[in-house]
């Protein structure tokens, strides 16, 4: 299951990157290239080679970029979107849901947070962030990073039972996977967690 999720993340972020590059090329045609395009990895094609983009559609896009240029030197950065997600009623960017439902304090107010489309049918689809194996979270970030030219705000969710060695191993794995940043390490004790499936 986890390898399928990594493959999905790879396809999804490749498509997002493709669309972003395509849009920037169209903007360059309309409004002009960014100032330092000449000699850039975009113009030389090195950007595409470094990421292993070799399919026919990528080769076509690389040729279009070399000819038309790029409006933007940089395209993708995945921000922490906790506050925005409250307004939009979505999850916070690439983060898993903290819990299916909980109260969060924002600027002195307690806001109820509920996983999107939570119902009796979707209840078991969601897994609390602190219960997810963080090795897979880091690996997913590594897969995404190939398609992100800047950085992503990766949060780690650990329990208080985590050792420093385990945490260090996650940092090393992130570095080995090409992840550029770890934003927060959020810890939580599992001893206080109530059995949600037992609640009536």
Average pLDDT over residues 75-99: 84
Instruction: Please give the pLDDT value at position 112.
Output: 84
Average pLDDT over residues 10-33: 98
**Residue 167 burial by CB count (10 A; 0-12/13-18/19+): exposed, middle or buried?**
middle
CB atoms under 10 Å from CB of 83, counted, come to 13
Instruction: Indicate the average pLDDT of the chain.
Output: 90
Residues 134 and 55 in one domain: no
In the chain, how many domains are there? 2
**38 pLDDT above the threshold of 60:** yes
DSSP state of 128: -
Residues 86 and 182 in one domain: yes
Can you read off the two tokens belonging to residue 16?
């997002």
141 and 178 in contact (C-beta within 8 Å)? Answer: no
Residues 62 and 151 in one domain: no
92 and 153 in contact (C-beta within 8 Å)? Answer: no
Instruction: Please give the pLDDT value at position 84.
Output: 82
**144 pLDDT above the threshold of 70:** yes
Average pLDDT over residues 176-199: 74
Residues 90 and 154 in one domain: yes
- Give domain status of residue 113, yes or no: no
pLDDT single digits (tens) 51-85: 999 999 999 999 999 999 999 999 999 987 877 87
Q: Report how far residue 28's alpha carbon sits from residue 68's, in angstroms, rounded to the nearest whole number.
A: 7
Residues 49 and 86 in one domain: no
Instruction: Please give the pLDDT value at position 155.
Output: 93
Read off the pLDDT band of 104 (50, 70, 90): confident
Read off the pLDDT band of 50 (50, 70, 90): very high
Q: Which structural domain range is residue 25 located in?
A: 11-68
Residues 46 and 86 in one domain: no
Instruction: Please give the pLDDT value at position 190.
Output: 57
**200 pLDDT above the threshold of 50:** no
**165 pLDDT above the threshold of 70:** yes
Helix 134-145, helix 164-176: angle, nearest 10 = 20
- Give domain status of residue 139, yes or no: yes
Residues 148 and 51 in one domain: no
Q: Report how far residue 37's alpha carbon sits from residue 27's, in angstroms, rounded to the nearest whole number.
A: 14
């Amino acid at each position: 299951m986890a390898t399928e999720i990594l493959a999905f993340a790879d396809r999804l972020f490749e498509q997002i990157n493709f669309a972003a590059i395509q849009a920037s090329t169209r903007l360059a045609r309309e409004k002009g290239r960014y100032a330092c395009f000449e000699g850039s990895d975009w113009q030389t094609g090195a950007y595409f080679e470094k990421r292993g983009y070799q399919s026919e559609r990528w080769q076509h896009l690389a040729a279009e970029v070399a000819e038309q240029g790029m409006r933007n030197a940089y395209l993708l950065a995945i921000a922490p979107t906790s506050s925005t997600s409250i307004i939009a009623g979505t999850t916070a960017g690439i983060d898993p849901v903290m819990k299916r439902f909980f109260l969060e304090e924002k600027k002195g107010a307690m806001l109820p947070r509920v996983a999107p489309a939570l119902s009796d049918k979707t209840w078991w689809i969601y897994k609390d962030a602190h219960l997810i194996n963080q090795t897979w979270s880091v690996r997913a970030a590594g897969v995404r990073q190939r398609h992100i030219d800047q950085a992503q705000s990766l949060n780690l969710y650990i329990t208080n039972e985590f050792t420093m060695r385990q945490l260090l191993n996650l940092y090393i794995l992130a570095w080995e996977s090409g992840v550029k940043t770890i934003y927060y390490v959020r810890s939580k004790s599992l001893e206080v967690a109530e059995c949600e499936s037992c609640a009536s």
